[in-house]
Structure 1
Amino acid sequence: MMEHIERCGFAAFNSNGVPGSYGLFRDKTLVRDACDLHTVSTHLLAAFPNVQRLFLVGLSTGAFLSVAYASSRIVGVPPPSPLLCGVAAIACVDDIPSRYTLDFTPEQLADFDTPPHHTCMKEFWPWRGEQHQQQQGEGEGEGGSGRVMWELHRGYLESYTDFPDTQTMVEGIDRNVKILLIHGE
């Protein structure tokens, strides 16, 4: 078994707007996160041409993004590589369009509707090594280690509706792509 493990590769990443990435947390959307997943997958397959299979592992929002990406049903996101053979989804919701209430409090949802900025302050727990400090700009981030509060634009909330419902998503997944759901709804 060890000879098989030695031929495996592993890459972990966070998407746009988090420390070490391009863009501001304020401008994140789920579609941009899915595009980041496509970009990283495409880059890894190009950088390692001997790779014969791609397997995605996602946690929480990353879990849903990975399953949705495998379905090829996200508007504005290219389809996955034909080398995609499976997804492990850990702590995955079953229907992202209707689950925004798990990510936002009633107060945050009300803040999204408040002009002129249509933003809320959202908690986040970034990995922040010395070389990966968040570049949020004045007044957009606060906190030291651990939990921080960063401004997030309403576009993130609106991007929930860019994802398919569960039935549509499942219908879009190639039968050769295996899905392992751990602790789903």
Structure 2
Amino acid sequence: MADQPAWHPPGQVCQPPELPLYLRNVYDLKPIVGVPSDADVIGIHAVIQAANRVSGVPGMHDPSLLMGLADHLFSAQMAKYRNKYSLITFPSDATYTPPELPAHVSVILEPVSGAPSDDEMTRVQEALRFYQQFGHAPSMFDAHVNMELSQHLFNLQMGICELLVNVTQALYPRHRNDLELPFKWRHRV
């Protein structure tokens, strides 16, 4: 994948939700123009973790904020995905390489070519859940590894979506804009 050209609209903006002061102190999310940096995505993850923690406090649960943060993370991860994989003609040609995991993570992840199998998806989800349990132990948790693992899962999920869209278009040829998705597309950019 390293020799593949990248594409993402350079002026595209990922707009974060308005944060309350206590979350701005965790990481002050700013609009992201173009492809997000790793630090941008790590910051989004940090704010989501903090928002999830305080949502258990009576009066602090804000479902709209949590949804806005999830949308913002989706937009950032989509931008990174598009930048890396959007010029691949056939999704079956894509190779998704997992991040290197620390020794205390016992799940072994291999590169995935084309659409991942259920077993490959399960292993990545298991690795992410297992790794995030170390979030309270700074010596065993690296926010960058967490971000890379989350992005790897996102990339695999998008690889499946790309394959499904291509198969659907091959089976039911019609104009791409008329393609009906089985879910409501809520993505905001």
Query: What is the TM-score when the length of structure 2 is the normalising length?
Result: 0.29
- TM-score normalised over the length of structure 1: 0.29
> In proportion to residue count, which structure has more strand?
1
Instruction: Return the structure number with greater relative CO, CA threshold 8 A, min gap 6.
Output: 1
